[in-house]
Amino acid sequence: MQNKNGAQQSVAARLGKLAVGLVKVGGAGAVSIAILSVLMCAYSFIPVHIANPNGNTDYIWPADSVWFRATEGIGWGQYDENGYNNPEVIEHPDILLVGSSHMEAQYVPQDDNVAAVMCDLFNGEHEVYNMGISGHTFFKICQYLPRSIELYKDSVKYVILEAYFVNVTQQDVDEVLEHKVDFASSSHNPIMQFVNEVPGLRIIDHQRKVGFFDLFKDQGSRRHVFSLDGEEFSSDVSESDLPAYDRLFTYLGDIEKDTGVELIVFYHPTEAFDSEGHILFERSEAYEAFAGAAASHDIDFVDVSDDFTKMFYEQHHVAHGFCTGRLGMGHLNSYGHRASAEALVKFIREKDRKEAAADVND
C-alpha cells in the first residue's frame, strides 16, 4: 500500500513538474511573441486586408489606415478612403494604374510610387489613380479589368496594366476568360484572423509561406520558379502554350473596342548582371510572344528595360532591390518607380500629341 501511494505521489510530482514546465514554456513563448510584435512595429506595420465591396480586386485595405515597412526598402503612407495606396482619392481619374505589389508600393515612400510621380510630372494634364494590390498578378488584373473600367467609365481614358512576367499558359487564359483566377479571400477563420492581427505571429506565418522550410532542403530539391507575392510562375514556355498569348490579347482587344478605353501594358523586367558588371535583361521566347501578341492586337506595350539600362549606366542605379535586400532582386525601388513613371508619362504625352494632330487634320 505504501509503495502504491509512493508511486502515485511520484507520478503526481512528475505531472506537476511537467505542468510547470509547460506553463514556463508557454509563458516564454507568449513573452517572445509580445517582444517580437513590438519590434515588428518598427519593421513591418500593416493592417489586415478586408473585402472589396466594389468587386474589382480580391481585397483592399482598411480606409485611411496607415502603414510602415522596412522589409526591403523603407516605405510609409496612408491608404485612401477606397483602400488603395494613394494620399487621397481621385474621384474622376482619366488614367487608372492596376497591378501587383509593385504598384501597391509598400516598399517606398508613398510619394515615390509610379502613380504619385506621374501625377507630379503631368501637373494637371492627367489624373492617375493607383489601384495596385499585393498578390494581383497580370491575370488577376485582366480578369477584373471590365469591372475596374466600369467604376470609372465617365472619366477614364487610359488603363495601365502592370506586368512583371510574360509567361502565359493556356490554363492561365482559361481562368481569365472563365473568371476563375485564384481568389485570395479577405476573410479568415478565427485562428488565422488572430495570427494576422498579432504582428509577431504574422511575420512567422509569412516566413512559412515564402519558403522558410526550403532552407532545410537540398539545393537541387528547391523550387526553380519565378515567385512573388506567394504566386509562382514557370521560368519557360512550351510550344503548346504559344497560342495562349493571342487568346489573352484578343480578350484585351475586345475590351478596348467595347469600352473605348485605351490599354497600355507596362512591363518592368528584373535586371541581371554578368561577371563584368554589365546589366542584362532577358529576351526569351515568351517575351517575343507576349510583345508580338500585343502588337498584333494594337495594344500598347511599354517595356522600360531600355530606361532601366540608361539609368544604370548614367546614374548608377538599379530599378529593383534595396539596401535591406539583394541588389536587383525584389520589388521596384524609388529609382525604378521614377524611371517607370517618366517612361509612361513620355509615352502618354506622345499618344496625346498624335491624337491632337489627327484631330487637327480631320
pLDDT digit string, tens, across residues 116-146: 999 999 999 999 999 999 999 999 999 999 9
Confidence of residue 208 (pLDDT cuts 50, 70, 90): confident
The predicted structure's pLDDT at residue 223: 44
Confidence of residue 217 (pLDDT cuts 50, 70, 90): low
- Grid cell, residue 218, equals 537540398
Identify any residues that bridge with 159 across adjacent strands, giving them in sequence order. Answer: 96, 263
Is 60 exceeded by the pLDDT of residue 171? yes
Distance, CA of 343 to CA of 241 (rounded, Å): 31
Instruction: Give the 3-state secondary structure percentages of the chain, helix then strand then coil, rounded to 5.
Output: 50, 15, 40
Distance, CA of 233 to CA of 207 (rounded, Å): 19
Confidence of residue 231 (pLDDT cuts 50, 70, 90): low
The predicted structure's pLDDT at residue 224: 41
Confidence of residue 226 (pLDDT cuts 50, 70, 90): very low
* Higher per-residue pLDDT: 244 or 202: 244
What pTM value is reported for the model? 0.84
The predicted structure's pLDDT at residue 236: 62
pLDDT digit string, tens, across residues 238-259: 778 889 999 999 999 999 999 9
The region of weakest confidence among 41-50, 163-172, 254-263 is: 41-50
The predicted structure's pLDDT at residue 26: 83
Distance, CA of 54 to CA of 63 (rounded, Å): 14
Distance, CA of 260 to CA of 246 (rounded, Å): 20
- CA neighbor of 57 nearest in space, from 94, 26, 82: 82
Which homologous superfamily does the CATH classification assign to the domain defined by 44-361? SGNH hydrolase (3.40.50.1110)
The predicted structure's pLDDT at residue 38: 75
Confidence of residue 221 (pLDDT cuts 50, 70, 90): very low
Average pLDDT on 282-297 reads 93
Is 60 exceeded by the pLDDT of residue 151? yes
- CA neighbor of 45 nearest in space, from 199, 193, 194: 199
Identify any residues that bridge with 272 across adjacent strands, giving them in sequence order. Answer: 280
Is 50 exceeded by the pLDDT of residue 222? no
Distances (CA, A) of 111 to 23, 123, 130, 256: 48, 14, 12, 30
